[in-house]
Amino acid sequence: MPIVKYPRTREPLFYEWDRRAQKCGLRHTIYAVNGDQYTGEWLDNMKHGKGTQVWKKTGAIYNGDWKFGKRDGYGSYSIPDPVTKEYRKVYTGLWKNDQKAGQGVSFYPNGERYEGEWSDGVRSGWGRMYYQDGSSYEGQWQADQPSGQGILRLPNGNRYEGGWKDGKKHGPGRYFYLDKGQLLEGTWAADIAKCGVLVDCGRHKAPAPTRYPIPKIGLNDPDGVLAEAQALLDDSHN
C-alpha cells in the first residue's frame, strides 16, 4: 500500500517575524522613525520598567520609570541649554500617566524653584515656591496657582498669612510689616485689602519704624484717646 505524505502545516512567516519583532525585557537602544530613541525595559512591545528616552526634535531626556508606554513612577526630565548645550534639569519626582503627579521638584529657567505636590502636570496640593526676587510662597495650590491658605514671605522680611484665590490674596488674612513694626489684620479681595485693623507690632524693634505710633482706641475712654492724639500733635510741632 503506497504511503501518502501530507505537507506539514506551517503558519505564515509574517507571524514568526512579528513575534521576533515584539520587544520584551531589557533591550539595547531602539530608534523610532522620527529619530527618537529609547534604551531600557519593555513589556508586550511597550516601554515598561526602567528606561531612558531621548527626543530628537528637542534633545530632551527622560530617565526613570515607565508603565505600559508612559512615564509612570519616579523619573527626571532634562533639556539642553540653548547656549551652553549642557543639560539642565527641569523636573525630578513622581509621574503618572505621562504627567507630573505626586511629590516633585521643578526648576525654572530664571532660577525659580517649586517643591511640592502635582496633579495632571500642574502644581496642586501643598507646595513651596521660591521666586526670582527672593520672595517665597508656602501653602496650598490649585490649577497651578496659590489657592487656599498660604504664607508669602518677602525679601525685606514682611509676610502675608491668610487666604488665596487664583494666585492673589483673597479672604481673611494678616500682613506683617516687620520693617515698620505694624500688623494689618483684615480681609482681602483680588490682592487688595478691603477692610481691616492696623496696629503697632514690635515697632520699637523695627528697622524702619513709622514716625509716630498708632493711637490706641478705647471706646470706653474717649477723653484718653483725644489726649493721646493731642500729645502726638504737640510732639510734631516741637
Query: Would you list the domain boundaries of the chain?
Result: 1-107, 133-233
Which CATH class, in words, describes the domain spanning 133-233? mainly beta
Q: How confident is the model at residue 24 (pLDDT cuts 50, 70, 90)?
A: low
- What value does the mean pLDDT take over residues 212-218? 73
Tell me which residue of 66, 53, 52 sits closest to 97, measured CA to CA.
66
The per-residue pLDDT of the chain, averaged, comes to 87
State mean pLDDT over 63-92. 95
Query: What's the rounded Cα separation, in Å, for the pair 23 and 27?
Result: 8
The whole-number average pLDDT for the span 135-154 is 98
CA distance 166 to 170: 9
**Domains 1-107 and 133-233 are alike in CATH topology:** yes
pTM of the model: 0.79
Least confident of 83-87, 150-154, 190-194: 83-87
Q: Tell me the pLDDT tens digit for each residue of 164-180.
A: 999 999 999 999 999 99
Query: Tell me, what's the pLDDT at 204?
Result: 84
Closest C-alpha to 64, from 96, 88, 35: 96
CATH class of 1-107: mainly beta
pLDDT higher at 211 or 48: 48
- Mean pLDDT for 182-209 is 92
